């Protein structure tokens, strides 16, 4: 499932190829992907519009258009966005194609069809959920005081709190495990059991690790297209996620898998007591 580093990688790969381009036509092959408005209106309103750029907010991408409207996109579990020249082989699960005036196609594919597109005019409220997101990981307001005030009274496991997009935007199952390993905190610990110092460690590790994994994941637009938007480069740098049964990179203890809040979690039983 793509998280902030993967979504930022997609943005950096796709935006240079579509920014400044005018949408000549829109092909919606699976109308259920369009959450707002209906698929026909979506295609009609986008045709003739120029893409000014693509921004990211948490795990969302937002394409800004020349008339003040915008397209909000969420990849969900298996969605992928690529920019390809006309005639380049398509993924068989391609559901939306925006045809640009220079022959570039912005394509959205999704094997499970959970991803969604919303189109909002300049005077429409964006009800995609993006407005409920917490601060970005690199927001200066995300400090120990913020975390302690926001979740310090919660009985939920700290991992559940990190996965809550209204607390911090962009963290998913992969990077929550990495952050908690870095800080030496057990994923299952109730948030209200953390000390101020531990909240400080989290506030430091969240932007540091997400920034690090974003940079290790950088690919060129051509590499992104060749990998169908799914060839992430940071997997070799993950220290705990997916490493259950392997020795801890710090102490050598065998790492264990458990379920926290319905999500699989990996931790070191010695480093994360």
Which tens digit of pLDDT belongs to each residue from 67-95?
Answer: 999 999 999 999 999 999 999 999 999 99
CA distance linking residue 189 with residue 198, whole number of Å: 12
pLDDT in tens, 213-254: 999 988 999 999 999 998 878 888 999 999 999 999 999 999
Query: Which residue spans within 46-186 are E strands per DSSP?
Result: 51-57, 60-65, 70-74, 79-85, 94-100, 104-110, 116-120
CA distance linking residue 218 with residue 212, whole number of Å: 10
Q: What is the mean pLDDT of residues 3-29?
A: 97
Residue 228 appears among annotated catalytic residues: no
Q: What is the mean pLDDT of residues 19-37?
A: 98
Residue 273 appears among annotated catalytic residues: no
Q: Is the distance from CB of 51 to CB of 21 less than 8 angstroms?
A: yes
Dihedral over Cα of 117, 32, 129, 13: its sign: negative
Catalytic one among 228, 233, 263, 270? 263
Catalytic one among 59, 107, 116, 150? 59
Does residue 148 come out as left (phi exceeding 0), alpha (psi in the -120 to 50 range) or beta?
Answer: alpha
Residue 21 appears among annotated catalytic residues: no
Q: Is the distance from CB of 45 to CB of 80 less than 8 angstroms?
A: no
Catalytic one among 2, 5, 135, 187? 2
pLDDT at 250: 97
Cα–Cα distance list, 263 to 138, 157, 242 (Å)? 25, 11, 13
Residue 150 appears among annotated catalytic residues: no
pTM: predicted TM-score of the whole model, two decimal places: 0.96
């Amino acid at each position: 499932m793509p998280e902030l580093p993967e979504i930022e990688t997609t943005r950096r790969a796709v935006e240079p190829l579509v920014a400044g381009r005018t949408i000549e036509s829109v092909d919606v092959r699976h109308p259920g992907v369009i959450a707002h408005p209906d698929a026909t209106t979506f295609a009609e309103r986008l045709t003739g519009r120029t893409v000014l750029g693509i921004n990211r907010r948490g795990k969302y991408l937002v394409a800004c258009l020349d008339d003040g409207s915008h397209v909000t996109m969420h990849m969900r579990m298996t969605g992928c966005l690529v920019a390809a020249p006309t005639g380049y082989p398509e993924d068989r699960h391609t559901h939306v194609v925006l045809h640009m005036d220079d022959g570039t196609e912005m394509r959205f594919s999704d094997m499970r069809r959970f991803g969604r597109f919303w189109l909002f005019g300049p005077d429409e409220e964006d009800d995609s959920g993006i407005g409920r997101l917490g601060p970005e990981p690199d927001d200066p307001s995300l400090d120990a005081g913020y975390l302690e005030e926001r979740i310090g009274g919660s009985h939920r496991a700290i991992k559940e709190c990190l996965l809550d997009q209204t607390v911090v935007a962009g963290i998913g199952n992969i990077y929550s495990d990495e952050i908690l390993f870095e800080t030496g905190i057990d994923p299952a610990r109730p948030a209200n059991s953390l000390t101020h110092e531990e909240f400080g460690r989290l506030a430091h590790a969240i932007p540091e690790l997400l920034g690090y994994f974003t940079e290790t994941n950088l690919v060129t637009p051509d590499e992104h297209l060749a990998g169908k938007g799914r060839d992430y480069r940071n997997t070799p740098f993950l220290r705990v996620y997916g490493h259950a049964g392997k020795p801890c990179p710090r102490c050598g203890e065998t790492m264990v898998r458990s379920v926290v809040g319905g999500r699989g979690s990996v931790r070191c039983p010695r480093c994360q007591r």
